Structure 1
Amino acid sequence: MKTDKRVKRISAARLPTVWGSFVVYCYKSMSDGLEHVAMVKGDIEDGKDVLVRVHSECLTGDIFKSARCDCGNQLELAMQKIEEAGRGVVVYLRGHEGRGIGLGYKLRAYNLQDDGLDTVQANVELGLPVDSRGYSVGAQILKDLGVRTMKLMTNNPAKCVGLKGFGIEITNRVPVLTPITKDNKRYLETKGAKMGHVYGAETEDEYSS
Protein backbone atom coordinates (compact mmCIF):
# COMPACT_ATOMS: atom_id res chain seq x y z
CA MET A 1 0.00 0.00 0.00
CA LYS A 2 2.93 2.32 0.66
CA THR A 3 4.45 1.82 -2.77
CA ASP A 4 1.60 0.79 -5.10
CA LYS A 5 0.13 3.56 -7.22
CA ARG A 6 -3.52 3.55 -6.19
CA VAL A 7 -4.78 6.86 -7.62
CA LYS A 8 -4.71 8.57 -11.00
CA ARG A 9 -5.12 12.29 -11.62
CA ILE A 10 -7.98 12.73 -14.08
CA SER A 11 -8.48 16.47 -14.47
CA ALA A 12 -8.10 19.90 -12.89
CA ALA A 13 -9.78 23.30 -13.14
CA ARG A 14 -9.99 26.67 -11.39
CA LEU A 15 -12.91 26.83 -8.98
CA PRO A 16 -14.09 30.09 -7.43
CA THR A 17 -15.81 29.47 -4.06
CA VAL A 18 -17.35 31.50 -1.26
CA TRP A 19 -13.97 31.20 0.49
CA GLY A 20 -11.93 32.31 -2.51
CA SER A 21 -10.41 30.80 -5.64
CA PHE A 22 -9.01 27.25 -5.56
CA VAL A 23 -7.79 24.73 -8.10
CA VAL A 24 -9.84 21.54 -7.93
CA TYR A 25 -8.23 18.23 -8.90
CA CYS A 26 -10.15 15.03 -9.60
CA TYR A 27 -8.44 11.74 -8.73
CA LYS A 28 -9.70 8.25 -9.55
CA SER A 29 -9.04 5.35 -7.21
CA MET A 30 -7.63 2.44 -9.22
CA SER A 31 -9.04 -0.14 -6.81
CA ASP A 32 -12.72 0.79 -6.76
CA GLY A 33 -13.20 3.52 -9.38
CA LEU A 34 -14.31 6.17 -6.88
CA GLU A 35 -13.49 9.76 -7.78
CA HIS A 36 -11.98 11.91 -5.04
CA VAL A 37 -11.29 15.64 -4.94
CA ALA A 38 -8.37 17.82 -3.85
CA MET A 39 -8.96 21.55 -3.40
CA VAL A 40 -5.66 23.40 -3.61
CA LYS A 41 -5.08 27.01 -2.61
CA GLY A 42 -1.96 28.98 -3.49
CA ASP A 43 1.58 27.82 -4.16
CA ILE A 44 2.39 24.50 -2.47
CA GLU A 45 5.26 23.67 -4.82
CA ASP A 46 7.85 23.50 -2.02
CA GLY A 47 5.72 20.85 -0.29
CA LYS A 48 6.68 22.08 3.17
CA ASP A 49 4.35 22.62 6.15
CA VAL A 50 1.27 22.66 3.95
CA LEU A 51 -2.00 23.22 5.81
CA VAL A 52 -4.09 20.13 5.03
CA ARG A 53 -7.56 18.81 5.78
CA VAL A 54 -8.31 15.19 4.80
CA HIS A 55 -12.11 15.16 4.94
CA SER A 56 -14.40 12.14 4.86
CA GLU A 57 -17.50 12.42 2.71
CA CYS A 58 -20.66 13.19 4.70
CA LEU A 59 -23.64 13.88 2.44
CA THR A 60 -25.97 14.75 5.30
CA GLY A 61 -23.54 17.13 6.97
CA ASP A 62 -21.59 18.57 4.05
CA ILE A 63 -24.50 19.09 1.65
CA PHE A 64 -27.69 19.16 3.71
CA LYS A 65 -26.10 20.79 6.80
CA SER A 66 -27.25 18.10 9.24
CA ALA A 67 -27.11 19.27 12.85
CA ARG A 68 -26.42 15.72 14.06
CA CYS A 69 -22.70 15.97 13.32
CA ASP A 70 -19.93 18.55 12.94
CA CYS A 71 -18.72 17.36 9.53
CA GLY A 72 -20.06 20.20 7.42
CA ASN A 73 -18.88 22.79 9.91
CA GLN A 74 -15.40 21.27 9.97
CA LEU A 75 -15.19 21.31 6.17
CA GLU A 76 -16.24 24.96 6.01
CA LEU A 77 -13.81 25.94 8.76
CA ALA A 78 -10.97 24.12 7.00
CA MET A 79 -11.68 25.94 3.74
CA GLN A 80 -11.80 29.25 5.62
CA LYS A 81 -8.50 28.58 7.42
CA ILE A 82 -6.75 27.65 4.17
CA GLU A 83 -8.07 30.77 2.46
CA GLU A 84 -6.79 32.88 5.38
CA ALA A 85 -3.41 31.14 5.25
CA GLY A 86 -3.16 31.71 1.51
CA ARG A 87 -2.11 28.11 0.77
CA GLY A 88 -3.23 24.62 1.62
CA VAL A 89 -5.14 21.53 0.54
CA VAL A 90 -8.49 19.94 1.32
CA VAL A 91 -8.66 16.29 0.22
CA TYR A 92 -12.28 15.14 0.01
CA LEU A 93 -12.49 11.35 0.24
CA ARG A 94 -15.54 9.65 -1.24
CA GLY A 95 -16.82 6.33 0.09
CA HIS A 96 -16.36 7.35 3.74
CA GLU A 97 -20.05 7.99 4.43
CA GLY A 98 -20.95 7.08 8.01
CA ARG A 99 -17.31 6.24 8.81
CA GLY A 100 -17.42 3.78 5.94
CA ILE A 101 -20.79 2.03 6.44
CA GLY A 102 -22.58 3.88 3.63
CA LEU A 103 -25.58 6.16 3.53
CA GLY A 104 -28.29 3.51 3.88
CA TYR A 105 -26.83 2.02 7.04
CA LYS A 106 -26.04 5.48 8.33
CA LEU A 107 -29.72 6.41 8.24
CA ARG A 108 -30.60 3.16 10.01
CA ALA A 109 -28.01 4.07 12.64
CA TYR A 110 -29.73 7.46 13.03
CA ASN A 111 -32.94 5.67 14.04
CA LEU A 112 -31.08 3.63 16.65
CA GLN A 113 -29.51 6.82 17.98
CA ASP A 114 -32.97 8.34 18.29
CA ASP A 115 -33.89 5.28 20.38
CA GLY A 116 -31.03 6.02 22.79
CA LEU A 117 -27.88 4.42 21.39
CA ASP A 118 -24.76 6.47 20.70
CA THR A 119 -23.01 6.37 17.31
CA VAL A 120 -20.63 3.58 18.31
CA GLN A 121 -23.36 1.45 19.85
CA ALA A 122 -25.58 1.93 16.79
CA ASN A 123 -22.93 0.60 14.42
CA VAL A 124 -22.29 -2.38 16.68
CA GLU A 125 -26.04 -3.09 16.91
CA LEU A 126 -26.14 -3.20 13.10
CA GLY A 127 -23.21 -5.63 13.04
CA LEU A 128 -20.95 -3.07 11.38
CA PRO A 129 -17.46 -1.73 12.11
CA VAL A 130 -17.25 1.34 14.31
CA ASP A 131 -14.88 2.95 11.79
CA SER A 132 -13.74 1.22 8.60
CA ARG A 133 -12.17 4.23 6.88
CA GLY A 134 -8.70 4.10 5.37
CA TYR A 135 -6.49 7.01 4.39
CA SER A 136 -4.00 5.52 1.94
CA VAL A 137 -5.78 7.10 -1.05
CA GLY A 138 -5.70 10.50 0.66
CA ALA A 139 -2.00 10.11 1.37
CA GLN A 140 -1.26 9.22 -2.25
CA ILE A 141 -3.22 12.23 -3.48
CA LEU A 142 -1.17 14.48 -1.21
CA LYS A 143 2.06 12.89 -2.45
CA ASP A 144 1.00 13.42 -6.07
CA LEU A 145 0.41 17.09 -5.27
CA GLY A 146 3.94 17.31 -3.90
CA VAL A 147 3.14 17.59 -0.19
CA ARG A 148 6.08 16.39 1.92
CA THR A 149 5.36 17.86 5.34
CA MET A 150 1.98 19.06 6.54
CA LYS A 151 0.04 20.69 9.32
CA LEU A 152 -2.98 18.40 9.55
CA MET A 153 -6.33 19.89 10.52
CA THR A 154 -8.07 17.21 12.58
CA ASN A 155 -9.38 16.43 16.05
CA ASN A 156 -8.74 12.72 15.46
CA PRO A 157 -5.24 11.48 16.39
CA ALA A 158 -6.04 8.16 14.67
CA LYS A 159 -6.14 10.04 11.36
CA CYS A 160 -2.57 11.16 11.98
CA VAL A 161 -1.58 7.53 12.48
CA GLY A 162 -3.52 6.49 9.37
CA LEU A 163 -1.65 8.99 7.20
CA LYS A 164 1.81 8.19 8.56
CA GLY A 165 4.03 5.76 6.72
CA PHE A 166 3.31 7.07 3.25
CA GLY A 167 6.32 9.34 3.03
CA ILE A 168 4.57 12.44 4.38
CA GLU A 169 5.55 13.92 7.72
CA ILE A 170 2.95 15.49 10.01
CA THR A 171 4.65 18.40 11.73
CA ASN A 172 1.61 19.70 13.60
CA ARG A 173 -1.99 18.76 14.35
CA VAL A 174 -4.27 21.76 14.05
CA PRO A 175 -7.59 21.44 15.96
CA VAL A 176 -10.80 22.02 14.01
CA LEU A 177 -13.16 23.23 16.73
CA THR A 178 -16.75 24.04 15.76
CA PRO A 179 -19.82 24.94 17.83
CA ILE A 180 -21.30 22.33 20.18
CA THR A 181 -25.11 22.27 19.98
CA LYS A 182 -27.91 20.28 21.61
CA ASP A 183 -28.15 18.19 18.42
CA ASN A 184 -24.47 17.21 18.14
CA LYS A 185 -23.41 17.26 21.81
CA ARG A 186 -23.75 13.52 22.41
CA TYR A 187 -22.16 12.75 19.04
CA LEU A 188 -19.10 14.82 19.95
CA GLU A 189 -18.95 13.37 23.47
CA THR A 190 -18.97 9.86 22.00
CA LYS A 191 -16.15 10.70 19.60
CA GLY A 192 -14.11 11.99 22.51
CA ALA A 193 -14.88 9.22 25.01
CA LYS A 194 -14.91 6.18 22.72
CA MET A 195 -12.88 7.16 19.65
CA GLY A 196 -10.12 9.30 21.12
CA HIS A 197 -10.98 12.59 19.45
CA VAL A 198 -9.46 15.60 21.18
CA TYR A 199 -11.29 18.86 21.81
CA GLY A 200 -10.93 22.09 23.74
CA ALA A 201 -7.83 22.60 25.87
CA GLU A 202 -6.63 19.04 25.25
CA THR A 203 -5.28 19.83 21.82
CA GLU A 204 -1.54 19.45 22.29
CA ASP A 205 -0.05 16.09 21.28
CA GLU A 206 3.10 14.57 19.84
CA TYR A 207 2.45 16.21 16.45
CA SER A 208 2.48 19.73 17.85
CA SER A 209 5.53 21.78 16.95
Structure 2
Amino acid sequence: NEKTIERVTSCDWPTEFGNFELFAYKDSIDNVVHFALVKGKIESDKPPLIRVHISNTLCDLTNSTRETCGLPLRNAIKRVAEEETGIVVILNQKEDSQVLIQRIEHCCRRDKGEDLPANPPTHDLRTHGLGAQILSDLGVHKMRVLSAPKKMHALSGFGLEVIDYVNDERKNDHSN
Protein backbone atom coordinates (compact mmCIF):
# COMPACT_ATOMS: atom_id res chain seq x y z
CA ASN A 1 0.00 0.00 0.00
CA GLU A 2 1.50 3.26 -1.17
CA LYS A 3 1.68 6.02 1.43
CA THR A 4 -0.01 9.17 0.14
CA ILE A 5 -0.33 11.19 3.36
CA GLU A 6 2.23 12.89 5.55
CA ARG A 7 1.78 14.18 9.09
CA VAL A 8 2.57 17.90 8.94
CA THR A 9 1.75 19.25 12.42
CA SER A 10 -0.06 18.60 15.69
CA CYS A 11 -1.13 20.54 18.77
CA ASP A 12 -3.47 20.44 21.75
CA TRP A 13 -7.01 21.24 20.63
CA PRO A 14 -9.70 22.16 23.18
CA THR A 15 -13.30 21.48 22.13
CA GLU A 16 -16.66 21.96 23.82
CA PHE A 17 -16.42 18.26 24.80
CA GLY A 18 -12.93 18.33 26.26
CA ASN A 19 -9.33 18.37 25.14
CA PHE A 20 -8.02 16.46 22.16
CA GLU A 21 -4.78 16.44 20.24
CA LEU A 22 -5.23 17.63 16.66
CA PHE A 23 -3.05 16.11 13.93
CA ALA A 24 -2.94 17.50 10.40
CA TYR A 25 -2.00 15.35 7.40
CA LYS A 26 -1.30 16.50 3.86
CA ASP A 27 -2.49 14.32 0.99
CA SER A 28 0.18 14.21 -1.73
CA ILE A 29 -2.30 13.28 -4.46
CA ASP A 30 -5.01 15.94 -4.01
CA ASN A 31 -2.96 18.41 -1.95
CA VAL A 32 -5.75 18.42 0.66
CA VAL A 33 -5.27 18.57 4.43
CA HIS A 34 -7.02 15.94 6.58
CA PHE A 35 -7.32 15.92 10.37
CA ALA A 36 -7.40 13.52 13.29
CA LEU A 37 -8.74 14.50 16.72
CA VAL A 38 -7.20 12.11 19.23
CA LYS A 39 -8.56 11.57 22.75
CA GLY A 40 -6.24 9.91 25.26
CA LYS A 41 -3.17 7.77 24.67
CA ILE A 42 -3.55 5.16 21.94
CA GLU A 43 -2.35 1.79 23.30
CA SER A 44 -2.33 -1.53 21.49
CA ASP A 45 -4.14 -3.41 24.28
CA LYS A 46 -7.10 -0.98 24.41
CA PRO A 47 -8.88 -0.68 21.05
CA PRO A 48 -9.97 2.96 20.67
CA LEU A 49 -13.34 4.13 19.37
CA ILE A 50 -12.84 5.39 15.81
CA ARG A 51 -15.00 7.51 13.56
CA VAL A 52 -13.87 8.34 10.04
CA HIS A 53 -15.87 11.36 8.93
CA ILE A 54 -15.92 12.61 5.36
CA SER A 55 -16.33 16.36 5.52
CA ASN A 56 -19.42 17.93 4.04
CA THR A 57 -19.46 21.68 4.46
CA LEU A 58 -23.25 21.97 4.35
CA CYS A 59 -23.87 19.23 6.89
CA ASP A 60 -20.95 20.03 9.20
CA LEU A 61 -21.48 23.79 9.44
CA THR A 62 -25.24 23.60 9.87
CA ASN A 63 -25.26 20.45 12.05
CA SER A 64 -28.03 19.24 9.75
CA THR A 65 -30.34 16.40 10.72
CA ARG A 66 -30.89 15.41 7.07
CA GLU A 67 -30.61 11.66 6.64
CA THR A 68 -28.14 12.24 3.81
CA CYS A 69 -25.74 13.91 6.26
CA GLY A 70 -25.26 10.80 8.39
CA LEU A 71 -23.88 11.11 11.91
CA PRO A 72 -23.15 14.81 12.51
CA LEU A 73 -19.49 15.60 13.08
CA ARG A 74 -20.38 17.30 16.37
CA ASN A 75 -22.08 14.13 17.61
CA ALA A 76 -19.10 12.00 16.58
CA ILE A 77 -16.71 14.26 18.51
CA LYS A 78 -19.05 14.24 21.52
CA ARG A 79 -19.32 10.43 21.48
CA VAL A 80 -15.56 9.88 21.15
CA ALA A 81 -14.95 12.40 23.96
CA GLU A 82 -16.91 10.09 26.30
CA GLU A 83 -14.32 7.34 25.78
CA GLU A 84 -10.95 6.84 27.46
CA THR A 85 -9.34 6.73 24.02
CA GLY A 86 -10.70 7.53 20.60
CA ILE A 87 -10.07 9.21 17.28
CA VAL A 88 -12.22 11.21 14.90
CA VAL A 89 -10.56 11.26 11.48
CA ILE A 90 -11.87 14.10 9.32
CA LEU A 91 -11.23 13.56 5.62
CA ASN A 92 -11.63 16.73 3.60
CA GLN A 93 -12.83 16.72 0.06
CA LYS A 94 -12.47 19.46 -2.48
CA GLU A 95 -15.73 21.37 -2.44
CA ASP A 96 -15.93 24.31 -4.77
CA SER A 97 -18.96 26.59 -4.90
CA GLN A 98 -20.53 24.63 -7.77
CA VAL A 99 -20.38 21.35 -5.81
CA LEU A 100 -22.05 23.02 -2.80
CA ILE A 101 -24.82 24.48 -4.97
CA GLN A 102 -25.39 21.08 -6.62
CA ARG A 103 -25.73 19.44 -3.18
CA ILE A 104 -28.35 21.98 -2.10
CA GLU A 105 -30.27 21.54 -5.37
CA HIS A 106 -30.06 17.74 -5.01
CA CYS A 107 -31.62 17.96 -1.52
CA CYS A 108 -34.35 20.33 -2.73
CA ARG A 109 -35.24 18.04 -5.64
CA ARG A 110 -35.44 15.02 -3.29
CA ASP A 111 -37.65 17.04 -0.93
CA LYS A 112 -40.01 17.70 -3.87
CA GLY A 113 -40.33 13.96 -4.48
CA GLU A 114 -37.88 13.37 -7.30
CA ASP A 115 -36.54 9.83 -7.25
CA LEU A 116 -32.84 10.53 -6.73
CA PRO A 117 -30.26 8.57 -4.76
CA ALA A 118 -29.96 9.76 -1.15
CA ASN A 119 -26.34 10.71 -1.60
CA PRO A 120 -24.51 11.26 -4.83
CA PRO A 121 -21.62 8.77 -4.64
CA THR A 122 -18.49 10.46 -3.29
CA HIS A 123 -16.67 7.72 -1.38
CA ASP A 124 -14.25 5.33 -2.96
CA LEU A 125 -11.59 2.85 -1.96
CA ARG A 126 -9.04 5.66 -1.82
CA THR A 127 -11.08 7.27 0.96
CA HIS A 128 -10.75 4.09 3.06
CA GLY A 129 -7.03 4.07 2.29
CA LEU A 130 -6.57 7.66 3.49
CA GLY A 131 -8.35 6.96 6.77
CA ALA A 132 -6.39 3.74 7.21
CA GLN A 133 -3.06 5.50 6.62
CA ILE A 134 -3.89 8.12 9.26
CA LEU A 135 -5.01 5.51 11.80
CA SER A 136 -1.90 3.44 11.16
CA ASP A 137 0.31 6.50 11.61
CA LEU A 138 -1.36 7.15 14.97
CA GLY A 139 -0.52 3.63 16.17
CA VAL A 140 -3.96 2.05 15.86
CA HIS A 141 -4.11 -1.71 15.25
CA LYS A 142 -7.40 -3.00 16.66
CA MET A 143 -10.34 -0.63 16.79
CA ARG A 144 -13.99 -0.18 17.56
CA VAL A 145 -15.74 1.76 14.81
CA LEU A 146 -18.53 4.27 15.41
CA SER A 147 -20.65 3.23 12.44
CA ALA A 148 -23.12 0.69 11.19
CA PRO A 149 -21.30 -2.52 10.19
CA LYS A 150 -19.85 -2.40 6.68
CA LYS A 151 -17.24 -4.21 4.67
CA MET A 152 -13.99 -2.28 4.58
CA HIS A 153 -11.59 -4.11 2.31
CA ALA A 154 -7.82 -3.93 2.60
CA LEU A 155 -7.67 -2.62 6.18
CA SER A 156 -5.45 -5.56 7.07
CA GLY A 157 -2.92 -4.23 4.57
CA PHE A 158 -2.48 -1.29 6.94
CA GLY A 159 -2.28 -3.50 10.03
CA LEU A 160 -5.83 -2.54 11.08
CA GLU A 161 -8.60 -4.76 12.39
CA VAL A 162 -12.17 -3.81 13.28
CA ILE A 163 -13.16 -5.74 16.41
CA ASP A 164 -16.56 -4.11 16.95
CA TYR A 165 -19.03 -1.66 15.49
CA VAL A 166 -20.65 0.82 17.85
CA ASN A 167 -23.98 2.26 16.81
CA ASP A 168 -24.68 5.81 17.94
CA GLU A 169 -28.31 5.88 19.02
CA ARG A 170 -28.17 9.66 19.27
CA LYS A 171 -27.65 10.20 15.55
CA ASN A 172 -29.59 13.46 15.51
CA ASP A 173 -29.13 14.52 19.12
CA HIS A 174 -28.43 18.25 19.12
CA SER A 175 -28.37 18.64 22.90
CA ASN A 176 -25.20 19.47 24.79
For normalisation by structure 1, the TM-score amounts to 0.70
Q: Which 5+ residue runs of structure 2 have no aligned equivalent?
A: none
* Matched residue, 1:106: 103
CA RMSD, aligned part only? 2.7
Alignment partners' CA distance in 1, 2:141 and 2:65: 35
Q: Which 5+ residue runs of structure 1 have no aligned equivalent?
A: 124-129, 182-209
Q: Which has the higher contact order (CA 8 A, sep 6+)?
A: 2
Alignment partners' CA distance in 1, 2:87 and 2:11: 15
Alignment partners' CA distance in 1, 2:49 and 2:159: 16
* Matched residue, 2:38: 40
Q: Write out aligned runs for 1:41-190 (5 A).
A: 41-46=39-44, 48-69=46-67, 71=69, 73-95=71-93, 102-117=99-114, 119-120=116-117, 123=120, 130-133=121-124, 134-155=127-148, 157-158=150-151, 160-161=152-153, 163=155, 165-178=157-170
Amino acid in structure 1 at the alignment position of 2:102: Y
How many positions carry a matched residue from both structures? 169
Partners of 1:74 and 1:178 within 8 A in 2: no
Deviates more, 1:23-32 or 1:68-77: 68-77
Deviation at 1:48, TM superposition (A): 4.2
Paired residue secondary structure (1:138): helix
Q: Cα 1:102–1:143, aligned 2, differ >3 Å: closer, same or farther?
A: farther
Partners of 1:48 and 1:147 within 8 A in 2: no
From 21, 24, 33, the counterpart of 1:23? 21
Paired residue secondary structure (1:14): strand
